[in-house]
A and B are shown apart, each in its own frame.
Chain A
Amino acid sequence: MPPKSTSSSTSTSSKAPVPSKSASSSNALSSLWSAYSKETPARLKLIDAFLVFLMLSGAIQFVYCVLISSFPFNAFLAGFGSCVGQFVLTASLRSQVNPLNKDEFKDISPERAFADFAMGSVVLHFFVFNFL
């Protein structure tokens, strides 16, 4: 999946503002990328792909709002809020099922985490549709 991986790397570089030390940072970034692709299980990669998609969708909506119009402000908020909300819920799911965090979430099995995620999403989208 080449397009996803490129977008993912751009998002990371945009988040870490390191323009001056380009040589060392690109080095660090590439090592980060290799470490990421090597260590992360496939399931988490799938979640990450979804996260990147949500981020892009939110960014497009935001750019549209800034450049063209924010007129139905509730519609913008609903759409953008659904992206952000879904993003953080998915990110929560990711950190809950991450095997590295097992000792932090003692009470929560991956199945329970997924059920929580589903419930949170349903509630979120109920409010989104009500607000749209």
Chain B
Amino acid sequence: MAPETVKNTASFIKIVALSVIAGAAIASRLFAVINFESIIHEFDPWFNYRATRVLASKGFYEFWNWFDPTAWYPLGRVVGGTIFPGLMATSGVIFNFLRAIHLPVDIRNVCVMLAPAFSGLTAWSTYMFTREMKDESAGLLAAILIGIAPGYISRSVAGSYDNEAIAIFLLMFTFYLWIKALKQGSAFFGTMAAIFYFYMVAAWGGYVFITNMIPLHALVLVLMGRYSSRLYVGYSSWYAVGTLASMQVPFVGFQPVTTSEHMAALGVFGLLQLVAFTELVRSHVSSKQFQTLLRTAAVTIGLLGFVAVVVLTMKGWIAPWTGRFYSLWDTGYAKKHIPIIASVSEHQPTAWPAFFADLHILIFIFPVGVLLCFQKLRDEHVFVIIYAIMASYFAGVMVRLMLTLTPVVCVAAAIAISTLLDTYIDPQEPESTEVAPTTTSEATGSSTAAPKEPKTKSKESKAPKTGLFGLDTRLAVIFNTFFLMLIFVLHCTWTTSHAYSSPSVVLASRAADGSSAVIDDFREAYYWLRQNTPKDAVVMSWWDYGYQIAGMADRPTLVDNNTWNNTHIATVGKAFASSEENAYPLLKKHDVSYVLVLLGSLIQYSGDDLNKFLWMIRIASGVWPDEVKETDFFTPRGEFRVDEHATKTMSESLMYKMSYYRFQELFGPGQAQDRVRNQKLPTVGPTLDYFDEAFTSENWIVRIYEVKPDDELGRDHKTANAYSAGKKRKKGRVARRRFALE
């Protein structure tokens, strides 16, 4: 075949492969939509969805200056300045584009399908990135791997409308552009990297990873003595444009010049200027002594700059690390000082099975790929190595950061597998010494230049004796690899469909006969709130459900998933942890009219509020250590119990009473059983004086209580209830009333 034909066929195959990969990436994310319905899943996406609706209905400027008075009820929230607007802007653009071409799609469907669509783009950008590392075949392999790897799917199934949905695409594409800028030394690619970096900053808080990865790469290159003008051009144009661009996002503001997370980029920028200047001077003067003089000058200035940064941080001019980032280094920090960070399940360390479940065989091939990068060690391979090391560490510290590890695992594994296949598919037999060199040219046109090479080589030097002989070894290895890849695909599909494709809004349960039942209590309760309460009724719940209440029930909430005001959350925690008499005035002060609690005791739903109760207590006792004490909720033997051994503080707390109010009536006398905590409840259930049960969902998951209005006669509710229940004082006893004189 002519080389032209080969080239055309190859590019055709490439295009077909890439589109099939994108199709597979999209299709494997649709389990949740097909099995259930097209809705937004978790907690955070509900806010993103609500914000996107504002953007779609009112326009961009309105969205940019949106003040949301219903969140954080008495305070309100300046949404424009406290979010990363990239995700909403993206879906707003897509929405308007589809309108413009007369495809009027509902904004909800745009939001639901955004993540699968972008996963296709992620596959493509990983292809581009890996192509820079090795060659196109490795790129295609990496695209396949990232297209279906569960570690990435877990954050990007259809319906999970979260920032990570577009962030991974932007991450890989920014890295690709950076590698390109470094390789070519082109200011164009540096500027493009800066623009995509800007998009990334607008989209996800994880942009800090990029601002530290690229400088680290540059620094390591300088330390390895691989400084080149290309590095200078690429890095400077990226930093100068990217920093100014990142400051345009209101949520980021002046952080790139005032916080410690961004100082590495600034420091490396300064260092590169010095090195560049030194190199320039050295090109003009050849004196050895002068070189060393400048070298020392560069080192001293570099050290001085470092000291200056340290001093500025000490003095407080530069803000130190924020708690979220600091807890990545000092892993015990969050648990001790900021319980609200430690209380999120995503912020726990990762266990080994999670690595295997999310990455399957890739986790074993990954180190091989990194090792192969060490063997070649071009400038861009250094990047993969650093990325692999950093991301592995962070993924080990936090479950959530598995997401940033997945791309590099796919890239490294693709490099390894493709190197293996290159070696074993290559039909070139290494000539043994007795075989004539002519027999080797059985390579049938796969490459035109190949047959000539070994001939000249064998003439010059003796052919290597080691190598692959015969078809059997090759076939064995190739089939084995193929088999592993097949298992990988099966594993990915299985994990995706079983573990990652369940909308948390709808709970799926399976009856004993195998038929599946859907538990839809959340929406039942939220829609009850939406339809049966006044529009301005404030709902108090734990912060986990804040976004969902605002999104589905459309009612003001006290706290929500954006945990920016710790004291306010602690107030809610205190209200739940204290007794009715104490909680009532607190709720009245905040104009609360409904209280919502979750109870999983009836159907074994373990994520209910009683299991989160300890965190509420901890967060509240961080602010009011005298009023809320964690030890009061434990039995003398240090157990957290809800049965008759429960402490008085526990059984009188608002959370306990609200959870188990009338719960005993469901069972026969003395039969009440909590199925989550596996404890037998006391025979007599708690009573509520200050609240009325307003709504309880079908499976008793969501319980909504109405806060009673003040008593007409000015009594407190306890006495009023006692009076109406007919509990009289003992006969013949004249009450001696003691009131303070007013």
* A→B interface (CB under 8 Å): 12, 15-18, 24-25, 28, 31-32, 35-36, 39, 73-74, 77-78, 81-82, 84-85, 88-89, 91-93, 95-96, 98, 100-101, 104-105, 107-108, 112-113, 115-117, 119-120, 123-124, 127-128, 130-131
Is the CB–CB distance between B237 and A88 below 8 Å?
yes
Q: Give Cα A92–Cα B188 distance, bound, in whole angstroms.
A: 11
- Chain A residue, CB-CB nearest to B272: A88
Is the CB–CB distance between A92 and B244 below 8 Å?
no
Besides A119-B187, A123-B241, 9 new A-B residue pairs in contact (Cβ under 8 A), listed by A number: A17-B297, A81-B243, A89-B237, A95-B232, A95-B233, A105-B185, A123-B194, A124-B240, A131-B244
Chain A proximity of B67: nearest CB distance (Å): 21
- Chain B residue, CB-CB nearest to A105: B185
Contacts of B364 in A (CB 8 A): none
Would you list which residues of chain B between 221 and 235 have a CB under 8 Å from chain A? 228-230, 232-233
Q: Mark B275-303, 1 if CB is under 8 A from A, else 0.
A: 01100010111010110011001001100
Chain B proximity of A121: nearest CB distance (Å): 9
Contacts of A82 in B (CB 8 A): 244
User: Is B247 interfacial (CB-CB < 8 Å)?
Assistant: yes
Q: Give Cα A130–Cα B239 distance, bound, in whole angstroms.
A: 18
Chain B proximity of A38: nearest CB distance (Å): 9
Contacts of B230 in A (CB 8 A): 104-105
Q: Give Cα A119–Cα B257 distance, bound, in whole angstroms.
A: 25
In the assembled complex, 7 residue pairs joining A and B whose CB atoms fall closer than 8 Å, in A order, are A36-B284, A73-B254, A81-B244, A113-B187, A116-B188, A120-B241, A124-B241
Q: Which of A105, A120, A128, A130 meets B237, CB within 8 Å?
A: A120
User: Is B191 interfacial (CB-CB < 8 Å)?
Assistant: yes
Q: Which of B247, B289, B290 meets A77, CB within 8 Å?
A: B247
Is the CB–CB distance between A108 and B184 below 8 Å?
yes
Contacts of A78 in B (CB 8 A): 244
Most chain A CB neighbours (cut-off 10 Å) among B230, B244, B284: B244
B interface, size bucket: 35 or more
Chain B proximity of A96: nearest CB distance (Å): 6
Chain A proximity of B684: nearest CB distance (Å): 64
Q: Give Cα A113–Cα B185 distance, bound, in whole angstroms.
A: 10
Q: Give Cα A12–Cα B297 distance, bound, in whole angstroms.
A: 12
Contacts of A12 in B (CB 8 A): 281
Is the CB–CB distance between B283 and A120 below 8 Å?
no
Is the CB–CB distance between B248 and A89 below 8 Å?
no
Q: Which of B185, B194, B293, B300 meets A28, CB within 8 Å?
A: B293
Q: Give Cα A130–Cα B513 distance, bound, in whole angstroms.
A: 64
Contacts of B244 in A (CB 8 A): 77-78, 81-82, 85, 124, 127-128, 131
Given contacts A116-B187, A130-B248, A131-B244, contact A92 B237 (CB under 8 A): yes
Is the CB–CB distance between A35 and B229 below 8 Å?
no
Would you list which residues of chain B between 150 and 206 have a CB under 8 Å from chain A? 184-188, 190-191, 194-195
Is the CB–CB distance between B240 and A89 below 8 Å?
yes
Contacts of A115 in B (CB 8 A): 188
Most chain B CB neighbours (cut-off 10 Å) among A88, A89, A107, A124: A88
Q: Give Cα A98–Cα B283 distance, bound, in whole angstroms.
A: 11
Q: Which of A28, A91, A100 meets B236, CB within 8 Å?
A: A91
Contacts of B185 in A (CB 8 A): 96, 104-105, 108
Contacts of B289 in A (CB 8 A): 24
Is the CB–CB distance between B237 and A100 below 8 Å?
no
Q: Give Cα A104–Cα B283 distance, bound, in whole angstroms.
A: 14
Contacts of B195 in A (CB 8 A): 123
Is the CB–CB distance between B228 and A104 below 8 Å?
yes
User: Is B694 interfacial (CB-CB < 8 Å)?
Assistant: no
Q: Which of B237, B241, B287, B297 meets A16, CB within 8 Å?
A: B297
Q: Give Cα A32–Cα B205 distance, bound, in whole angstroms.
A: 47
Is the CB–CB distance between A101 and B257 below 8 Å?
no
Would you list which residues of chain B between 504 and 554 have a CB under 8 Å from chain A? none
Is the CB–CB distance between B276 and A131 below 8 Å?
no
Chain A proximity of B230: nearest CB distance (Å): 6
Is the CB–CB distance between A116 and B191 below 8 Å?
yes
The 5 A-B pairs at the shortest CB distance, nearest first, are namely A85-B240, A88-B236, A116-B187, A92-B233, A116-B188
- Chain B residue, CB-CB nearest to A117: B187
Q: Give Cα A100–Cα B254 distance, bound, in whole angstroms.
A: 39
Is the CB–CB distance between A92 and B232 below 8 Å?
yes
Contacts of B290 in A (CB 8 A): 28, 32
Contacts of A17 in B (CB 8 A): 297, 300-301
Q: Give Cα A95–Cα B276 distance, bound, in whole angstroms.
A: 10
Q: Give Cα A28–Cα B188 distance, bound, in whole angstroms.
A: 37
Contacts of B186 in A (CB 8 A): 107-108, 112, 116
Is the CB–CB distance between B284 and A39 below 8 Å?
yes
Contacts of B188 in A (CB 8 A): 112, 115-116, 119-120
Chain A proximity of B86: nearest CB distance (Å): 16
Contacts of B284 in A (CB 8 A): 32, 35-36, 39
Q: Give Cα A45–Cα B301 distance, bound, in whole angstroms.
A: 26
Is the CB–CB distance between A91 and B285 below 8 Å?
no
- Chain B residue, CB-CB nearest to A33: B284
